[in-house]
Every structure is written in C-alpha cells, then in structure tokens.
Amino acid sequence: MTDFSAYIGRSRSETERLDARLVRWLAAIFERPELLNARGGEALPAGWHWTLFAPVAAMSGLGRDGHPQRGDFLPPTTQPRRMWAGSRLHWHASFRAESLVTRTTTIKSCEEKAGRSGAMVFVTLEHRLESDGRLVLEEEQDLVYRGDAGPDEVAALARLAQRAQSEAISPEKAGAFNRAVSADPVMLFRYSAATFNGHRIHYDRDYAREVEGYPGLVVHGPIIASLLLGFIEREVAPGGSIKHFAFRAKRPTFDIAAFALHADRPDAAGELAAWSTNNVGEVAVEAKARIV
C-alpha cells in the first residue's frame, strides 16, 4: 500500500466572489425564480457555496476523466475513478450574493485500503470558509478514488438500468415528505458548467458507458445534496435555518429515470433524517440535518 502520510496537514487558501452570474445560474438550475435577479447582500440557500473553488487546470493538465491530474495539492493517487462520498457541514451564517469568500483547505487524512474491487484511496479534506472577516461554514469532505469497474459491477449496473426502464418503481424507504426529481442531460451539463466541473461522467454519455461502465450519465453528488437541502428549507421546515447537515453517498443515481427525495419530520430538537432513492427506489444518499 502507498504511504500518503506526507500529504496530511497540507493546506492552501483561495478567495472567490459569489457573483450574481453564478447565483442566477444556480437559481435557474434549481428552479428558484425569486433568486434569478438576486442583489448583493441577499442570503443564499444552503449548499450554493459548492459553485466556488473548482480546481482550474489547462486542457493539457487534465486526466482521462476530465479532472485535473493529481499530485499538486491532492496526493498522486493512481486509481482512475473519483467519487465525492459525503460531507459534514456546520453553518455559522448564510452566504450572501456578491460577497468575497475565502476557503482554507487542509488535508485531514489520506489512506489507501484494500477493497473488493482493488485498492482504494480515502481522502478527507477540512474546509473553513470565511466572508467579511467572519467564519461562515466549516465542512469536512470525503473523497474516494477507485479502480475501473469490473465485469460484476458493470453487469449489476446493466440490470439496474433494465429495472429502471421496465418496472413500476416504489422506494424501499419513504419519508413523511417526498418529491420526485428528473435530472436530464441539460440539468447535469448546466451544473457542470456552473461549477466548472469537467468530470465526464456527468455530460459525456459515451465515456460514462464505455469507459466507466455506467448505464447513463451520473447525477452529481452535490446536486442531490443541494436538492435535499432545498427540499428541507422550502418544504420540510419552511422558515427554519439549517445549521448542521451531513450526507453520505451509498449508490450512484443516473439520468435514465426519475429518482426521489425523502425526509422525516423534524423532532423536538429540530433534527431530521433525509435521503434520496435512486432510479430503482434504493436509498442512494443518506443525510441528517438540524434546523433552528
């Protein structure tokens, strides 16, 4: 196993503006017409900070998947497939349109482990985001790097696609609140563009199918997390403010059929469970939130 311990503790800071153009793009993607003309200083929905701080590299510096090659800040892992496996977030305030945001990122852990499909590398990043001299958000982000899909995984995904297109789907777990979602290629492309995300599994169907073995385009993890956050803010606990949110991706979701958002009612402490179910009704993303 490769020893990546020398990368632990590495840190860097970046500053970007949550400008009105990005806010308009996200408002269009997430059907938030009241924010299509957001003005400076207006509070933004939880999760919209993910449009900032995309890694920028020249075309010559990209890997086969469209991501920048590793080895500069992130460790030089050799596994070709990358997944955002989850995050844990704590808000101290809301982000605001047109504000300058500084993010300081530290590599908290990095470890290679043996899995059923071969060696995998787990990286946890710690982000601190500040604006106007105050801490706005603390986030831990988990990344997983994996090898190419084997024949068993490809066959299982093919069976999933057949089920999604030929069966009446019901969720294995339904919440008190539910909403169906259709993520088509235009939505996925728009989000990739808004976040400067070149990961080809989200917009290049031939690559997603022929190289990575998926049955369709993969719905971005942060799209599902952002949809769950908006679902909580607008339908589950309107008027409340999300202070804590943690999510974990269990299974991929594709553009081949609709998927769904679910949530339970908040308890007396304002805590609730939320989750998404994928194209065949299996729990795909699990989340917990606390509302105040």
Query: What's the CATH code of the domain at 155?
Result: 3.10.129.10
- pTM value? 0.94
pLDDT at 116 exceeding the cut of 80: no
Q: What is the mean pLDDT of the chain?
A: 94
- Per the structure, how many domains does the chain have? 1
Per-residue pLDDT, 168? 83
Residue 106: which domain range?
Answer: 5-291
Mean pLDDT of the 51-62 span: 92
Two tokens, residue 25: 């793009």
For residue 46, the number of C-alpha atoms closer than 13 Å in the C-beta half-sphere is: 29
Collapsing DSSP states into helix, strand and coil, what is residue 55? coil
Residues 6+ apart with CB under 8 A from 100: 15, 16, 17, 131, 132
Distances (CA, A) of 270 to 112, 225, 227, 244, 267: 37, 19, 19, 10, 5
| Max mean pLDDT range (66-75, 114-123, 223-232) | 223-232
Two tokens, residue 43: 């509070």
Of 64, 13, 52, 56, residue with least CA distance to 200: 64
pLDDT-above-90 percentage for the chain = 86
